[in-house]
Chain A
Amino acid sequence: MLKVLQARFRQGFRTGKFPAVPPNLPEHFRGRPEITPDRCSDCRSRICLSACPANAVQMAENGVTIDLGRCLFCGKCAAACESGAIRFTGEYRLGAMKRDSLICRPGAMPEPEQAENPELRRLCGRSLKIRQVSVGGCAACELDFNVLNTLAWDMGRFGIQVAASPRHADCLLITGPVTENMLLALKKTYAAVPRPAFVIACGSCAVSGGIYAGSPVVHNGVEDILPVDLYVPGCPPHPAVLLEALLYLMGRKRGPIA
């Protein structure tokens, strides 16, 4: 018992101060990309399109767009870009309720999406019970969601908890591209959640199928199967990205600028 108490003092208080202060992100963290219009529109090579492993970079009128719903944040488009038009910024506030908000277009980086949803705030503002369902996830999204439960992030202080049963959940947090073999289980789990049931697509696989899109045994993400209320880009989303997005879903204002 004495040893336990000694250890308690030695280990100290470790919970981060987010969202009162910006999250502690690594120096090389790759957040929302920024596309410089002039440099991009003058480019002839379009080498970024073939460099992208996830089909996230697409041609547009005044340059290219990057779909964060597909993006792995690997940075290969920026490395390949000969005109220096693509740069990954430290913007971690990536969660969005509208799919279109995940499309990065050439130009100044927009403010993160702000959606007014008083119903969500009333229902979940102080308590969000999450049932996680992995449907082909590689375990990274699952692990970094689990991290929010550790004392480093302690999502419980915001009233966010993992529910063991879908019957006790407000929402499903779905990871993975939705394998054929999990389709029925996913539908049954969703049916078991009391209404209104919210759906979070966490990670590029769940949003769009990610790099598994097009495989004959996956369903290219959640979108065609369940109505999605929150998209969280990343491969996997950094815990700060996911927590900020969850708080946004609960009706809080967006997190501080990193």
Chain B
Amino acid sequence: MNNGFLILTNGVSAPVADVPVLPMAPFRQMVLDAVLNGGARVAAFFVLPPENGGESRLIAVLAAPQQHQILVASGVIENNCYPAFTTECPAFHWFEREIYEQTGILPQDHPWLKPIRFQPAADGTAPAPGVTDYFQLQGDAAHEVAVGPVHAGVIEPGHFRFQCLGETVHFLEIELGYQHRGLEQLLLNGPVPQTPHWIETAAGDSSIAAATVYQTLIRGLSPDLPPEPESAGIWRAIMLELERIANHTGDLGALAGDVAFLPTASYCGRIRGDYLNLTAMLCGNRFGRSMWTAGGAALPIPASAAAVLRSKMDELRGQLNNALALMFDTPSVLDRLENTGVVTTADAASLGLVGVAARASGLKMDARHDFPLPGIPVLETVPHEPVGDVFARAVIRRQEIAASDRRIMDLLGLIREDLPAAPSVWQVPVLQPDRIAAAVTEGWRGELWQVAVTDANGKFRRFKIVDPSFHNWAGLAMALRGEEISHFPICNKSFNLSYCGHDL
């Protein structure tokens, strides 16, 4: 079924001329067939503008997890429109709204064609943020609750509209775009000295995941880069797991806080910071910023750091397990989490959810298993839960904390020698011209994709970031259907999606 696609692996580039160019109808049929019948998922779906006249092309980057392959193909867009894929497969829904907003190219018969970021259109006109037609429930007893963009807590902005009948939410509509910084535009014609920092701040709580993917991508596009020491990849993988533990810990604490179970909320808030401090111990920054560059590590890490990290992990493990056991052993907490905010397996698959949310809805996927990075051990087991409620998402996070802990211990066992600082941490890598590469890893929310196409000068002609939140906001909206409005905070925390990672 993969005939007709260009087949890539994680972080390996190919000449952009090798991407098959098909007329729209067979392209659409082939892509839909791969997604609906072939076990593939849409990883990225975007428009590649023509370089020297000619037609724009629609590029589909599909993840084929069973074969550990990345499938790429393109279809020619004629007359500035094409028949929408969403009508057959809802997982394309958000991508096609993005395409229409960014380029004005019309996905015909798209059921819900609205802006997703309220960014200026190609002709320069800019819609006012949040001003759009909202889905509305009609009737005397129906009411609408509008929240945001500025929320009551310390959190990023977004606008939520709940269509309610009494306490029951029948529909939640989420409007984002308030964090839109024009990131994809900034990345064009790169790389430049800012590029790795833009990548790291696409979603600032996933900086290490983003840096890992970018490293993989750049290595694929720049084969002349001197090889990294083996320990660089291992330390990066360790930091990726520290990022996962810290964020899952914080989110479980926040869930406890939202159901007013304060002991776990307090302890997890503190312990999350302690894990961030372990990252800072290695690189000076709690979010792992500026550590990974095209040449390797910005700072040396002595092999002796492995022993220090091991003992600190041992110390924190007991404290964290104790805090989490408290929460998971308390019936009044479980009562709030269980059967709340259910996303069924069928819905999760059809919407194309990824990461924690997908695994909690019974979908077995993890980029560390499906698309392993070179030199890093494959993640053997992928935990998944069938129910898809807030409790399942909490349980998955708890299991992943334990798994990441074990993984860090295993990875530390592979550290043999000091990691030297890269000799030229500040230099901008030189990329091969006219190539395409896609790279992915599993951030703590889910799979994080970057796709780059270089031009004749080796500069980014297109750089696509697909944050896991891009897929999963639709899952949160789905989780709220039929729920009480008072369940919104715990549903929201159980996903804890990124606004900036979506808005770019």
Task: Give residues in A with beta carbon < 8 Å to B.
Answer: 3-4, 7-8, 10-11, 14, 26-30, 50-54, 72-77, 79-80, 132-147, 149-152, 162, 164-166, 176-177, 179-182, 184-185, 189, 211-212, 215-218, 235-236, 238-239
A238 CA / B266 CA spacing, docked (Å) = 20
A141 CA / B154 CA spacing, docked (Å) = 10
A139 CA / B287 CA spacing, docked (Å) = 11
A181–B180 contact, CB under 8 A?
yes
B205 contacts across to A, CB distance below 8 A: 138-140, 143
A152–B270 contact, CB under 8 A?
yes
What is the distance, in angstroms, from A134's C-beta to the closest C-beta of chain B?
A: 5
A137/B281 contact (C-beta < 8 A), A4-B263, A7-B322 known: no
> Does B341 reach chain A (CB closer than 8 Å)?
no
Report the tally of A-B residue pairs with Cβ distances under 8 A.
Answer: 197
Measured CB to CB, the nearest residue on chain A to B128 is A184
What is the distance, in angstroms, from B98's C-beta to the closest C-beta of chain A?
A: 15
A137–B194 contact, CB under 8 A?
no
Q: Which 8 A-B pairs have the closest CB atoms?
A: A138-B204, A28-B284, A140-B204, A150-B269, A74-B290, A51-B426, A164-B152, A181-B129
A72–B289 contact, CB under 8 A?
yes
B273–A150 contact, CB under 8 A?
yes
Which of A54, A138, A218 has a CB less than 8 Å from the CB of B182?
A218
Measured CB to CB, the nearest residue on chain A to B267 is A11
Which of B196, B270, B276, B277 has a CB less than 8 Å from the CB of A14?
B270
Which of A144, A185, A212 has a CB less than 8 Å from the CB of B286?
A144
A72–B290 contact, CB under 8 A?
yes
> Does B88 reach chain A (CB closer than 8 Å)?
no
A181 CA / B117 CA spacing, docked (Å) = 9
A185/B150 contact (C-beta < 8 A), A149-B269, A211-B201, A218-B182 known: yes
A76–B290 contact, CB under 8 A?
yes
What is the distance, in angstroms, from A10's C-beta to the closest C-beta of chain B?
A: 6
22 A-B contacts, Cβ less than 8 Å apart? Answer: A11-B323, A28-B284, A74-B289, A75-B284, A76-B426, A80-B425, A136-B180, A140-B201, A140-B289, A144-B286, A147-B269, A151-B270, A152-B274, A162-B154, A179-B180, A179-B181, A181-B178, A181-B180, A182-B178, A212-B182, A215-B181, A215-B182
B286 contacts across to A, CB distance below 8 A: 144, 238
A27 CA / B243 CA spacing, docked (Å) = 19
What is the distance, in angstroms, from B141's C-beta to the closest C-beta of chain A?
A: 29
B500–A189 contact, CB under 8 A?
no
Q: What would 16 more interface pairs be, CB under 8 Å, given A3-B325, A76-B425, A150-B273?
A: A7-B263, A14-B270, A26-B280, A51-B426, A74-B290, A77-B426, A136-B500, A137-B500, A138-B202, A138-B205, A142-B154, A179-B179, A180-B180, A189-B150, A211-B194, A215-B185
B111 contacts across to A, CB distance below 8 A: none
What is the distance, in angstroms, from B258's C-beta to the closest C-beta of chain A?
A: 14
A30/B284 contact (C-beta < 8 A), A8-B263, A79-B298 known: yes
**Interface-lining segment among B19-27, B118-126, B372-380, B482-490:** B118-126
A235–B289 contact, CB under 8 A?
yes
Which of A3, A27, A79, A211 has a CB less than 8 Å from the CB of B197?
A211
A72 CA / B143 CA spacing, docked (Å) = 46
B196 contacts across to A, CB distance below 8 A: 53
A142 CA / B498 CA spacing, docked (Å) = 12
Measured CB to CB, the nearest residue on chain A to B250 is A143
Measured CB to CB, the nearest residue on chain B to A138 is B204
What is the distance, in angstroms, from B127's C-beta to the closest C-beta of chain A?
A: 10
A10 contacts across to B, CB distance below 8 A: 319, 322
A147–B273 contact, CB under 8 A?
yes
Measured CB to CB, the nearest residue on chain A to B195 is A53
A80 contacts across to B, CB distance below 8 A: 425-426
B156–A134 contact, CB under 8 A?
yes
A51–B118 contact, CB under 8 A?
no
B152 contacts across to A, CB distance below 8 A: 164-165
B227 contacts across to A, CB distance below 8 A: none
B201–A138 contact, CB under 8 A?
yes
B204–A236 contact, CB under 8 A?
yes
What is the distance, in angstroms, from B269's C-beta to the closest C-beta of chain A?
A: 4
A141 CA / B287 CA spacing, docked (Å) = 10
A138/B322 contact (C-beta < 8 A), A76-B426, A151-B270, A185-B178 known: no
Which of B119, B120, B203 has a CB less than 8 Å from the CB of A139?
B203
A29 CA / B285 CA spacing, docked (Å) = 7
B425 contacts across to A, CB distance below 8 A: 76, 79-80
| Interfacial residues of chain B within 116-160, with CB under 8 A of chain A in the complex | 117-120, 126, 129, 149-150, 152-157
